[in-house]
């Protein structure tokens, strides 16, 4: 759907995006995550040539946008909707007029505009706000107007630039659910940039992690959470799945402290119960959690295993065999 080939974007002597190559598949929700200054917003703006790459190519449905004239690019942009962190609604226009704005620019008739805007406002849950002005709306409602406006000309791609960063957690969840529903119903490809790993966990199929203009890791979202490869990815995962223990829990223990990661089927099996039945050990639970990412369970448990050295080692070997993911955090004091 979207092929990003060795794209570099420079501003004077600063390289904001550095030789990025990615393929974004038709119909997926693709996340790009990084801290401020990582280059993610610049890369997103290169996708519809709001920023022209210094080097490299952007292909959409096989068409090289970087080879087009400015007039041709403007036509292609009608296939790409965009929503922003700070909404960018026209304060002097009603909700209806804001959504209709791009359709007028595209030359649609009044009747076409009326029917389409009504459909979109119903889709985003704002049918009763058609005549309201932006100042009369909450932040979540403003973003829903932004989403409706971005969908007005039936785009194939929706670009989301920190679309939930200005919203509270409850409103963020409702907007993410709306985007997921739009993706499911319309099959539209969504590219979403964020600095919040919880957003990635909740909505994305795959994610690219960016640092200093480069993509340092690319994987399915489940795999990033289950087995992050880079230090930066681990930092982002820990913002959602924080498993740090107080230092006092790591000292003066009767047995080793181990962290067990349960993926897929093992997360729904009684591995620990079976371990305690088979071996003469006790388990002191210190920390644990389970999440569902793309409907797949991912669990983490930190326990202290108490018993003889032989029994404890056999228990750890058994757990490792069942889960393939056991890490000793601290030995016997």
171 and 299, same domain (yes or no): no
- Rounded to 5 degrees, what angle do the CA atoms 69, 158, 56 make? 45
Looking at the whole model, is its pTM more than 0.85?
yes
CATH of the domain at 167: 3.40.50.300
Residues 150 and 108 both lie in one domain: yes
Q: Under 8 Å CB-to-CB from 13, ≥6 apart: which residues?
A: none
37 in the same domain as 158 = yes
Band of residue 332 on the pLDDT scale cut at 50, 70, 90: low
Task: Decide: 259 and 301 in contact? Cβ < 8 Å.
Answer: yes
Classify burial at 214, counting beta carbons within 10 Å of its beta carbon; exposed 0-12, middle 13-18, buried 19 or more.
middle
* The last residue of a domain, from among 179, 205, 239: 239
Give the percent of the chain with pLDDT over 90.
70
Of 214, 239, 264, which one is at a domain's C-terminal end? Answer: 239
Q: Do 150 and 198 fall into the same domain?
A: yes
pLDDT of residue 262: 87
Residues 128, 83 share a domain: yes
Whole-number Å distance between alpha carbons of 129 and 26: 33
Tokens of 198: 């919880």
Residues 141 and 282 in one domain: no
Query: What confidence score (pLDDT) does residue 295 get?
Result: 84
Judgement on whether residues 101 and 200 belong to the same structural domain of the protein: yes
Q: How many domains does the chain have?
A: 2
Same domain, yes or no: 159 and 282: no
Give residue 222's pLDDT: 93
Mean pLDDT: which of 67-76, 90-99, 240-249, 269-278 is highest?
90-99
Domain of 261 in residue numbering reads as 247-330
Q: Is the pLDDT of residue 245 over 80?
A: no
> Each residue of 127-155: pLDDT tens digit?
999 999 999 999 999 999 999 999 999 99
One domain for residues 204 and 135:
yes
pLDDT for residue 191 is more than 70: yes
What is the band of 296 on the pLDDT scale with cuts at 50, 70, 90? confident
333/4 Cα distance (integer angstroms): 53
Task: Quote the DSSP letter at residue 132.
Answer: -
Return the half-sphere exposure (C-beta side, CA atoms, 13 A cut-off) of residue 279.
23
Within 10 A of 109 (CB to CB), how many other CB atoms are there?
10
In whole angstroms, give the CA distance from residue 87 to residue 83: 7
Residues 136 and 219 in one domain: yes
Domain boundary pick from 182, 206, 239: 239
Q: Is the pLDDT of residue 102 over 90?
A: no
pLDDT at residue 204, rounded to an integer: 96
226 membership: H or E segment, kind and range: helix 221-226
Whether residues 224 and 265 fall in one domain: no
């Amino acid at each position: 759907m979207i092929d990003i080939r060795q794209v570099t974007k420079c501003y004077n002597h600063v390289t904001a995006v550095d030789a990025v190559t990615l393929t974004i598949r038709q119909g997926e929700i693709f996340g790009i995550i990084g801290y401020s200054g990582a280059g993610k917003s610049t890369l997103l703006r290169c996708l519809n040539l709001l920023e022209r790459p210094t080097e490299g190519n952007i292909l959409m449905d096989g068409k090289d946008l970087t080879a087009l004239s400015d007039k041709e690019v403007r036509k292609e942009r009608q296939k790409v909707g965009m929503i922003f962190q700070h909404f960018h609604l026209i304060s002097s226009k009603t909700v209806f007029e804001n959504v209709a704005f791009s359709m007028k620019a595209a030359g649609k008739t009044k009747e076409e505009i009326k029917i389409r805007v009504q459909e979109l406002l119903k889709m985003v849950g704002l049918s009763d706000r058609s005549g309201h002005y932006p100042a009369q709306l909450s932040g979540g409602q403003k973003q829903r107007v932004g989403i409706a406006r971005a969908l007005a000309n039936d785009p194939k791609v929706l670009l989301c630039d920190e679309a939930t960063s200005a919203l509270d957690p409850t409103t963020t969840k409702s907007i993410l659910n709306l985007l997921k529903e739009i993706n499911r119903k319309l099959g539209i490809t969504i590219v979403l940039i964020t600095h919040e790993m919880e957003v990635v966990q909740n909505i994305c199929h795959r994610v690219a992690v960016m640092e200093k203009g480069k993509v340092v890791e690319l994987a399915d979202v489940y795999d990033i959470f289950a087995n992050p490869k880079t230090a930066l990815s681990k930092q982002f995962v820990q913002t959602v799945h924080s498993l740090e223990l107080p230092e006092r829990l790591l000292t003066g223990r009767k047995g080793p402290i181990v962290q067990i990661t349960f993926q897929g089927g093992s997360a729904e099996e009684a591995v620990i119960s079976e371990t305690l039945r088979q071996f003469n050990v006790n388990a002191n639970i210190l920390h644990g959690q389970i999440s569902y990412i793309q409907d797949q369970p991912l669990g983490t448990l930190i326990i202290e295993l108490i018993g003889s050295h032989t029994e404890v080692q056999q228990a750890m070997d058994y757990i490792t065999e069942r889960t393939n993911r056991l890490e000793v955090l601290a030995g016997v004091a």
